């Protein structure tokens, strides 16, 4: 029997609408679970006049800016919802005079909660534990609510070498070398060691061990801002890497290709040591800030030479931002590797729930036990700061998960109990197991 075309159109539209509307029970459960946030940049609490310069090793504000996507602009209706939820904002507009009430309410709550303010924010977001990507922790960011994830790109920049190639990297490279000096000063190493072996034993390994002792659960590489994620094949001869290192620290500037090979060697050494110490290795993947960002170089598949290195199979790699939608399909396959996970962070800020649900569903249909919740919240303006950003990202992630799981249930891919199990895995259980959290 031929189905009349108008009726067929109604059926298709009904199916599409159904797939876009999250099941009320699944959504309620998603909003209730206390989450573990795999990636964020929370600010420390500061005194009047004090600045927090440690929330990111490579802050975006000083570099060339890209046009902000709509989701991140103040006119996004989600901002208004965040103000109402967090600060009891009583207006239905973003008139500058009215918005002053947001800043005033925020300041009042900060004063009321004192050093517990950051914990209060996590309570509003339904986040049990947050992994703080910071150069160093600070006031208000204590365990068990906050765990440290330090940056280790600086150890890839000993001596001189590697032409920046863009205005953004002209700013970033000196910062990495300044941070390396800070690490060395904290270790009591006055001058850069003259040999690669000394550099590894006096700087790299002690720094990783110091980070572990200070409570780090993982380490982070923002390498995609600095170079391609293609770390090439392993250097088979240590003497080759040592000769490049000696040139870099003695004044003869190696060629870019030589210096990249040295970085390839050092990255593998750091990843191996992190695995030995029980710390996961996080990589920024997919697009980033700055109008000169090298998108092709941020493709997570470029990390395959590391992921597939038999010597590094004891090291866990986490694809932070999950390729940031651009490369999310590739991430689905990379999750098949036994030591690879991915999180939703940043996508929760750049995409609305509907669009994010498409990315999430693809991952969940492949490896639901390898997906991690994350926000990527970070400091902003007084009106649109980490609290509001975190609230929007948190709502987006949970709604996207509910939409994706509802669609999978509707299509008979999973039942309701499996949907519930997946929610708990993504929002909490997988991270708890991966990082050994109670």
Tens digit of pLDDT for each residue in 203-243?
999 999 999 999 999 999 999 999 999 999 877 667 889 99
Residue 390 contacts residue 379 (beta carbons within 8 Å): no
CA 379/CA 366 separation, integer angstroms: 34
CA angle 101, 105, 110 (to 5 degrees): 150
What is the pLDDT at residue 307?
95
What is the pLDDT at residue 18?
42
- Helix or strand or coil: residue 284? strand
With 0-12 / 13-18 / 19 or more C-beta atoms within 10 angstroms meaning exposed / middle / buried, residue 53 is exposed
What is the pLDDT at residue 236?
65
Percentage of the chain with pLDDT > 70? Answer: 95
Of 372, 371, 377, give the one whose Cα is nearest residue 393: 377
pLDDT band at 108 (very low <50, low <70, confident <90, very high): very high
Average pLDDT over residues 303-315: 94
Q: Identify whether 17 is part of a domain.
A: no
Of 306, 300, 310, 381, give the one whose Cα is nearest residue 342: 300
Q: Which residues pair with 318 in a beta bridge?
A: 282, 341
DSSP class of 367: -
CA 55/CA 133 separation, integer angstroms: 7
CA 339/CA 362 separation, integer angstroms: 19
CA 259/CA 249 separation, integer angstroms: 11
Q: Identify whether 242 is part of a domain.
A: no
Q: Identify whether 349 is part of a domain.
A: yes
Q: Identify whether 2 is part of a domain.
A: no
User: 319-377: per-residue pLDDT in tens?
Assistant: 999 999 899 999 999 999 999 999 999 999 999 999 999 999 999 999 999 999 999 99
Of 325, 334, 328, 319, give the one whose Cα is nearest residue 284: 319
Residue 72 scores a pLDDT above 90 = no
Average pLDDT over residues 138-158: 97
Query: Residue 68: CA atoms inside 13 Å, Cβ hemisphere, count?
Result: 10
Q: Identify whether 316 is part of a domain.
A: yes
Q: Work out the number of other CB atoms within 10 angstroms of the CB of residue 4.
A: 9
pTM, 2 dp: 0.93
Average pLDDT over residues 116-126: 98
Give the residue numbers spanning the domain of 305.
23-233+264-435
Percentage of the chain with pLDDT > 90? Answer: 88
CA 419/CA 401 separation, integer angstroms: 10
Q: Work out the number of other CB atoms within 10 angstroms of the CB of residue 12.
A: 10
Average pLDDT over residues 297-304: 97
Q: Identify whether 66 is part of a domain.
A: yes
Packing angle of the helix pair 386-410, 5-20 (nearest 10 deg): 130
Residue 192 contacts residue 184 (beta carbons within 8 Å): yes
Counting the structural domains of the chain, the total is: 1
Residue 17 scores a pLDDT above 60 = no
What is the pLDDT at residue 248?
97
List the CATH number of the domain containing 362: 3.20.20.140
Q: Identify whether 7 is part of a domain.
A: no
Q: Identify whether 256 is part of a domain.
A: no
User: 168-202: per-residue pLDDT in tens?
Assistant: 999 999 999 999 999 999 999 999 999 999 999 99
What is the pLDDT at residue 19?
53
pLDDT band at 69 (very low <50, low <70, confident <90, very high): confident
What is the pLDDT at residue 128?
98
CA 142/CA 122 separation, integer angstroms: 12
State how far the alpha carbon of 381 is from the alpha carbons of 73, 101, 378, 391, 392, in Å: 12, 14, 10, 15, 15
- 82: alpha, beta or left, given left = phi > 0 and alpha = psi -120 to 50? alpha
Q: Work out the number of other CB atoms within 10 angstroms of the CB of residue 125.
A: 22
């Amino acid at each position: 029997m031929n189905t009349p075309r108008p009726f067929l159109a109604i059926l298709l539209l009904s199916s599409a609408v159904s797939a876009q509307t999250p099941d009320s029970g699944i959504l309620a459960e998603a909003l209730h679970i206390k989450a573990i946030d795999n990636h964020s940049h929370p600010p420390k609490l500061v005194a009047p006049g004090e600045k927090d310069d440690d929330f990111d090793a490579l802050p975006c504000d000083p570099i060339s800016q890209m046009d902000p996507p709509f989701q991140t602009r103040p006119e996004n209706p989600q901002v208004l919802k965040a103000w109402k939820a967090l600060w009891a904002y009583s207006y239905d507009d973003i008139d500058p005079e009215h918005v002053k009430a947001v800043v005033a309410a925020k300041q009042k709550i900060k004063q009321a909660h004192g050093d517990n303010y950051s914990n209060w924010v996590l309570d509003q977001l339904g986040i049990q534990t947050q992994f703080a990507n910071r150069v160093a922790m600070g006031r208000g960011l204590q365990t068990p609510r906050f765990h440290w994830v330090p940056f280790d790109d600086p150890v890839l920049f000993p001596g001189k070498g590697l032409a920046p190639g863009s205005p953004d990297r002209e700013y970033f490279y000196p910062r990495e070398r300044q941070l390396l000096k800070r690490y060395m000063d904290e270790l009591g190493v006055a001058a850069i060691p003259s040999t690669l072996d000394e550099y590894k034993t006096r700087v790299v390994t002690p720094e990783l061990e110091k980070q572990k002792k200070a409570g780090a659960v993982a380490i982070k590489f923002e390498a995609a801002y600095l170079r391609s994620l293609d770390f090439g094949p392993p250097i088979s001869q240590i003497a080759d890497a040592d000769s490049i290192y000696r040139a870099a620290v003695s004044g003869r500037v190696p060629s870019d290709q030589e210096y990249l090979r040295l970085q390839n060697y050092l990255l593998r050494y750091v990843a191996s040591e992190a695995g030995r110490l029980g710390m996961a290795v996080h990589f920024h993947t997919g697009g980033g800030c700055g109008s000169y960002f090298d998108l092709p170089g941020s493709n997570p598949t470029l990390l395959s030479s590391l992921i597939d290195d038999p010597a590094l199979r004891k090291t866990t790699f986490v694809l932070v931002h999950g390729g940031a939608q651009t490369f999310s399909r590739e991430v689905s396959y990379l999750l098949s590797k036994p030591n690879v996970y991915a999180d939703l962070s940043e996508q929760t800020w750049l995409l609305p729930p509907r669009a994010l649900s498409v990315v999430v569903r693809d991952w969940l249909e492949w490896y639901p036990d390898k997906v991690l919740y994350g926000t990527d919240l970070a400091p902003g303006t007084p009106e649109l700061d980490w609290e509001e950003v975190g609230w929007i990202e948190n709502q987006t992630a949970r709604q996207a998960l509910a939409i994706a799981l509802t669609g999978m249930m509707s299509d008979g891919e999973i039942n309701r109990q499996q949907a519930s199990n997946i929610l708990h895995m993504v929002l909490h259980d997988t991270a708890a197991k991966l990082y050994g959290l109670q």
